[in-house]
Amino acid sequence: MDQAAGRRIRRGRLATFIVVCTYRTRAGEEDAVVALHEDWQRTLHSRTRGYLSGELLHSVQDPRAFIAIARYEDEEAAVRAASDPEHVAWQRRLASLMEVEPTCAGHVCAWQVS
């Protein structure tokens, strides 16, 4: 078991829970989306129990399209994070930069290679 990272192995796979969100910003808000994620890193990251890592992908074909990937120890940690009042406020700020509401879904790893 990879105890240092707080991950459990289930059926030969890491039990990490992954939230994937897709965004389409309003024109001119691309830098604000990146800045808001950087703000989350500075202000909420350290207090989000069970959060492992995340990344924000920016499309090279469509400058207004983003994909955010957040990895948690388990689904419960993701639910806790999503219900935190400060995270909810952060999500509202993010949604205010979007052309349409961000779409998010939870996932588990089906296959992985390093």
Q: Average pLDDT of 38-56?
A: 92
Q: What is the pTM of this model?
A: 0.83
Domains and CATH numbers, the chain: 17-108 (3.30.70.100)
Confidence of residue 14 (pLDDT cuts 50, 70, 90): low
pLDDT digits (tens, 9 = 90+) for 60-84: 999 999 999 999 999 999 999 999 9
Q: Can you give the pLDDT at residue 111?
A: 85
CB 93 within 8 A of CB 20: no
Amino acid identity, residue 88?
A: V
Rounded CA separation 23/59 (Å): 10
Q: Can you give the pLDDT at residue 9?
A: 47
